[in-house]
Chain A
Amino acid sequence: MSTQTPVQTDSDAGRGIAPTAPRPSAARGQGRPAAAFLTPFVVLYLLFIIGPALYGLVLSFTDASLVKPGLNGGAGFGNYAEALGSSDFWSSLWHTLWFTILTTPPLVILGFLLALLANRVARGRWFFRLAFFAPYILPSAVVALIWMWLYTPALGLLDTTLAKVGMTAPSWLGDAAWAMPSLAITTVWWTLGFNFILYLAGLQEIPRDLYEAAAMDGAGPWQQIRSITIPMLGRTTTLVAVLQVIASLKVFDQMYLMTSGGPNFATRSILQLVYDEGFTNYRVGYAAAVSMLFFLVVLAVSAVWFTLVRRQEKVV
């Protein structure tokens, strides 16, 4: 995107008044219209992203409370020390990671496999898109209502279906060991369509003649997938995996709606800890510190992504 402009600039400058571009005369005066076009976004950006981010950083070093105005005195690194020494913080961080571990592999692999299958089927693609993608567009509250009904002990569709084939269902959301996998199943159902679409788009960009050439050389479908499709989709996979990890780390709705972080806090995510400490216990300073620690985790994931993409771009 930046390769075109410098070339044009040079030729414009060389020719003086270029017939195709009014730039030389306007160049000096573009600061003012640029400012006018940028101001609405930049003001909102400073007010609602950068400002709050810095304010949150300040709050994390104070004893600020929700029910008292002002900063309520400095706390130094007290909030951070407390968080890092608190079992609540580590357990909710672990729950968040556990949820990420349970959701990311199936969402990436299933998204890839189903897109691969859909790409081979010529007819009825709209139907598959509808089936896999429709859940993604639903509000989390709707998804939660539907799945809580499916998980209802003894009466829900899952329990009655399993009973018909002679199996006893676990207490899906009520059992501390099963609650997180149950939330993960719901999440896979809910968000798979997003990865499905990304992979389908990636698949359609692979030139057809690659497959035709491979088929002429006698490569079967399986060989074609292994030696053409998977390597060609490397960048898509990086993108899907990182977006998925970040989205899973930010989990809140499913737990809040379906288990309230229970049973016995077994599914409380890091964002719910922020919610509980900040808005139920009114400990704004401490909640801000936990937010900052969470932000560091997300930043680390993004940094890993950048390195991966850089490396892939060098190779390709």
Chain B
Amino acid sequence: MANTTLDAGVTMERINQREKLFNRICAGVLIAFALLWLIPLLWAVDTAIKPNAETTRTTWLIDNPTLDAFTRTLRDTDMWSWYGASFIISSLAALGTVLVASMAAFALSRMRFRYKNVVFWAILAGIMIPGQVLIVPWFREFDALRLLNTYWAVILPQLPAAIAVFIFKQFFDGLPRDLEEAARMDGASFFRVYRRIVLPLARPAVAAVAIFTFVTTWNDLLWPLLVLSNPDLMTVPVGLATVQGAFGIRYADTMASAILGAIPLVAVFLLFQRQIVQGIAGSGLKG
């Protein structure tokens, strides 16, 4: 009996050692890949802080690092105006999407009415329709509405996001109902329950939908490219796309413009890393 325990102990020890070695190899491979993934970003930063004339010398070390490329890019492009447009459009899209989708989901989750299932499935079917296949009719529609070259042309098609309704409904369905039922007994209106009880409890879902709508709207290229031809209204991606050829061989300036274009979203990422990761993990959102 003592013998078998000893045996088991030795086996466990061996397994543990094998496991440790295996884990170490895993870590090594993983670090190699992570560094490989960081190289393009680091090289972009490295290029941007070289003087333009020295960017073709392919050394990582820089004798005379400079931020000139950044000041030049900020001066010569409309970067500040692109930031402003992107910020207004993405914020309004995020706010609007959260509002209309959470309200619709609240009705679908908490109220009883006729054709509820029909409404739910009709909305769910919208997930199947990618915005990209609608660009032709959208363009004609916004032309007819006289809204081409306005922020509304970019914001409005983003708002009815079926996937957001689905996410909110799933979240609301999982919330305990005692509190709101007590509030309803006390005569609170549905709007009050939604505003004061359900929405505050649903903060993780609100954060996920808001951040995702913000990021996807910020990064969208095809549709804003079609409707924002006025340079004063261009978003960051559209602006970068239109000036990308203008830098020629001034590689430091090109990389500076790329980094400046990336900074706001890198900040969003660093601030909301947890919500973003949980949002993806929980629902599998993809643009």
Contact = CB atoms under 8 A, between A and B. Distances in A.
Nearest to A42: B104
Contact of B221 (A66, A129, A140): A140
A294 B251 CA distance: 38
Interface size class of A (residues with CB under 8 A): 35 or more
Contacts of B284: 198, 239, 243
B279 to A, nearest CB: 9
Interface size class of B (residues with CB under 8 A): 35 or more
Contacts, number: 290
Contacts of B169: 1
B137 interface: yes
Nearest to B172: A1
Given A149-B254, A218-B15, A37 B190 contact: yes
Given A121-B27, A141-B237, A253-B222, A37 B129 contact: no
A197 B11 contact: no
A139 B134 contact: no
B111 interface: yes
Which residue of B113, B129, B191, B251 has the most chain A CB atoms within 10 A of its CB atom?
Answer: B113
A89 interface: no
B211 to A, nearest CB: 10
A56 B134 CA distance: 7
Interface in B234-287: 236-238, 240-241, 244, 251, 254-255, 257-259, 261-262, 265-266, 268-269, 273, 276-277, 280-282, 284, 286-287
Contacts of B43: 146, 149-150, 157
A121 B31 CA distance: 10
Contacts of A35: 113
B149 interface: no
Interface stretch (A98-106, A165-173, A283-291): A283-291
A134 to B, nearest CB: 6
15 contacts: A1-B170, A34-B116, A37-B104, A38-B119, A48-B157, A53-B133, A59-B140, A141-B244, A145-B244, A149-B255, A150-B43, A197-B277, A198-B281, A201-B280, A201-B281
Given A201-B282, A220-B15, 9 more contacts: A35-B113, A47-B160, A52-B134, A120-B26, A121-B26, A121-B30, A138-B266, A140-B237, A275-B226
Interface of B: 11, 15, 18-19, 22-23, 26-27, 29-30, 33-35, 37-41, 43-44, 47, 56, 58, 99-101, 103-104, 106-108, 111-114, 116, 119, 123, 126, 128-130, 132-141, 156-157, 159-160, 162, 165, 169-170, 173, 178, 181, 184-185, 189-191, 194, 215, 218-219, 221-222, 226, 236-238, 240-241, 244, 251, 254-255, 257-259, 261-262, 265-266, 268-269, 273, 276-277, 280-282, 284, 286-287
